[in-house]
Amino acid sequence: MKLLLAVRMLIIAASLSFLLGCSHNIKPHEVLVIKKTNTYHREGCPPTNMAKTTVMTAAEAKAERYKPCPVCKPDSE
């Protein structure tokens, strides 16, 4: 009975963390890069919620020819 309750709580916790997304806690000069779409984003931008991302500086992303996201506009202040 305790094992079943523990499994249910684990499933609920995993579901909540998936729904809420995980915070990357990136620094102000860093961006999230989605290699598959060749774009970089601000933290919290919706496309980054379900994508595999890499953290790098905006300058590095530009140097590697990633494009800024048209939704979150990571280059604007």
pTM, rounded to two decimals: 0.68
Question: What distance in Å separates the CA atoms of residue 62 and residue 14, rounded to the nearest whole number?
Answer: 35
Q: Is residue 10 part of a domain?
A: no
Asked if residue 12 is part of any domain, the answer here is no
Q: Is 58 contained in some domain? A: yes
Q: Which residues pair with 67 in a beta bridge?
A: 39
Does residue 8 form part of some domain? no
- Cα three-residue angle 27-19-47, rounded to 5 degrees: 55
Residues 6+ apart with CB under 8 A from 23: 43
Per-residue pLDDT of the chain (77 residues; tens, 9 = 90+): 766 666 566 665 555 444 444 556 788 889 999 999 999 999 999 999 889 999 999 999 999 999 999 999 999 87
What's the total number of domains in the chain? 1
**Residues spanned by the domain of 33:** 25-77
